[in-house]
């Protein structure tokens, strides 16, 4: 799939959930909090890592967030409520938003194993896609500055 096809798919999924980009409807979040099939990754992630901690902020996130820790290795995983999309990144790395968008980006066994588990259920987005602009009126960010990351995962300014 080309990046433009993927962006078109993401826009369609976002519009299906938000209904209107000028006046978004967030009712889908309550439903997804109860029923998300992407949460099925948790037993497998728990088997891989020493700790898997939920990091979801219900007031600003449209995704489930997890911190995955194994020794000194820390990963952030976000599973979108908008559609079958994920953002996987290294925490405390340089650059700060060090996205893992392909198997080739994986540097450790933990990264590769997490990537493979999540990729069976969702499209893991690369940094370029996550930083693509998607004009939608969200609470904590100007519409002109909104990215795919904001629309699919959180309107918090942190993370990108």
Q: What is the pLDDT of residues 65-100, one digit of tens each?
A: 999 999 888 999 999 999 999 999 998 766 666 899
Domain ranges of the chain: 3-152
pLDDT at 72: 87
pLDDT at 36: 73
pTM (2 d.p.): 0.91
In this prediction, residue 42 has a pLDDT band, given cuts at 50, 70 and 90, of confident
Tokens of 91: 């925490």
pLDDT at 157 over 70: no
Tokens of 22: 């000028």
As a whole number, mean pLDDT of residues 58-62 equals: 84
Count of H-run helices and E-run strands, the chain? 6, 6
- Are 76 and 65 in contact by the 8 Å Cβ rule? The answer is yes
- Are 130 and 68 in contact by the 8 Å Cβ rule? The answer is no
pLDDT tens-digit profile of 104-130? 999 999 999 999 999 999 999 999 999
Whether the upstream peptide bond of residue 11 has omega within 30° of 0, thus cis, is: no
């Amino acid at each position: 799939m080309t990046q433009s096809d993927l962006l078109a798919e993401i826009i369609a999924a976002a519009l299906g959930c938000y209904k209107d980009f000028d006046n978004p409807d967030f009712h889908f979040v309550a439903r997804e909090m109860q029923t998300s099939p992407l949460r099925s990754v948790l037993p497998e992630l728990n088997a891989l890592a020493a700790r898997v901690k939920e990091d979801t902020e219900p007031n600003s996130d449209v995704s489930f967030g997890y911190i995955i820790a194994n020794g000194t290795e820390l990963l952030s995983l976000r599973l979108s409520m908008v559609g079958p999309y994920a953002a996987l990144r290294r925490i405390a790395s340089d650059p700060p938003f060090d996205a893992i968008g392909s198997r080739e980006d994986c540097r450790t066994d933990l990264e590769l194993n997490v990537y493979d588990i999540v990729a069976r259920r969702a499209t893991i987005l690369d940094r370029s896609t996550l930083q693509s602009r998607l004009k939608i009126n969200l609470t904590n960010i100007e519409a002109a500055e909104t990215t795919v990351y904001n629309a699919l995962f959180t309107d918090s300014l942190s993370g990108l």
